[in-house]
Amino acid sequence: MQYDIYGLGSALLDIEYDVTVEFMQQHDIQKGVMTLVDDARQAQLIDALGSSNVTEKASGGSAANSLIAAQHFGAKGFFSSKVANDPMGQDYLAALKKAGLGTNYDHHEPGPGRTGSCLVMVTDDADRTMNTYLGISIELSEKEIHAPALQNSQYLYTEGYLLATPEVRPVIFKAFEIARATNVKIALSLSDPFMIDCFKDHFVELVGSGVDMMFCNEDEAKMFTGTQDVTAAAEAMKHYARTFAITLGAEGSLLFDGQSFIEIPTHKVKAIDTVGAGDMYAGAFLAGLCQGKSFAESGTLASHAATQVVTRYGPRLSKQEALDIINATKV
C-alpha cells in the first residue's frame, strides 16, 4: 500500500491541565519547556494537580499529533510507535485507527508495562509546559519499524524527542537509513529548545549531509545554528536542510523552498492553548506538499490550521474544520 507520510515517534497519552504560575513555582516546574520525569515524579504531580483541572485527554506524542493532522488534511499516513497492553495503550490504538492511520500494531503486539503519558500544563498566557513520562516508549526498537510502509511513503517524518533516550536513538537512525536507501524524503522536527540544549550533537549527527525538510520554531532555529536572530538562523539552516519552515508565533512563519525565502503571515487570534500548534503546522504543511501544493500554499494552509488550533484546548481539529480550512485557502 502507498502512503504519503510514515511517522515514527513516542506514543503518549496527553492529559492537559489549567494551572497557575504559582502552582508551577510551588512544585518546582520549569515553565514553557518539556521535561522528562520518572514514574514517581509524574504520579506526584498528578496527585497535586487533581482531576478537576483536566481540560483535555488525547492520544498524542508530537509525531502522532502531526500524522493525525495530516490525515485530516487529506494525506494518507502510517504511524509506528510502542504502547503497553494496558487501558491507555488500547485507547491509544483505537484513536489512531479512528483517525484512519495505518499502524505497526497490526504487526507487533503491545508489550507489558505502562503506556507513556504527558502532563500538559497551560497557564493564563497560553504557554504550555510538559512533564513527560515515556513509559514503554523507551523500549521502541527497530522491530517496530514497518519497512514496507516506510519504503512506500513519500515522506518519513520523525520527532526530535526520540533522541532523548539512548536506547531509542538507533531506531531513528535506522529509519533514516531505510528512507535514504529507497529515496523516501526525510522530514524532521527539532521538537523543543530543551532538546537542542541537551542533545544538539545527536541532532547534527542524525541530520548528517542534510534532511529534505525541517520544522522548528524561532528559538529552536537559533539554538540549533548558534545564531542570535532569525535571519542569521535561516541562512545557517541551509547547511542542514534542503527546505525548512521556521514558525514565528503570532508573526507567522518563514519558509525556504530550496531557492528562496517565503514569508507567511498569520491571523491575529486570542490564543488559549498553544499545545500542539507546531505539530499541527507540520502535519498540515506536509499534507499540502504531498498533494502537490506549492510551499507558499502549504505554508498558508499550515498557518491557518495552527492559528485555529490555538483558540481552543487540545492539539486537534475536527475533519470538518480541516475541510473548512482547505476550502478557505484554495487559490
C-beta of residue 172 within 8 angstroms of C-beta of residue 206? yes
pLDDT value at residue 315: 79
Other residues' Cβ atoms within 10 Å of the Cβ of residue 262: 17
Structurally, at CATH architecture level, domain 3-10+62-104+138-328 sits in 3-Layer(aba) Sandwich (3.40)
| pLDDT tens-digit readout, 145-179 | 999 999 999 999 999 999 999 999 999 999 999 99
pLDDT value at residue 168: 95
| pLDDT tens-digit readout, 23-61 | 999 999 999 888 989 989 998 998 999 887 788 777 889
The pLDDT-based confidence of 109 (bands split at 50, 70, 90) is low
Strand-strand pairing, 54-60 and 12-18: antiparallel
The pLDDT-based confidence of 301 (bands split at 50, 70, 90) is very high
Nearest to 175 by CA among 104, 106, 240: 104
| pLDDT tens-digit readout, 202-260 | 999 999 989 999 999 999 999 999 999 999 999 999 999 999 999 998 899 999 999 99
| pLDDT tens-digit readout, 177-204 | 999 999 999 999 999 998 999 999 999 9
Nearest to 155 by CA among 241, 239, 76: 76
pLDDT value at residue 331: 54
Strand-strand pairing, 116-122 and 241-247: unpaired
pTM, 2 dp: 0.89
Please give the single-letter amino acid code of residue 199: F
Report the share of the chain in percent with pLDDT over 70: 98
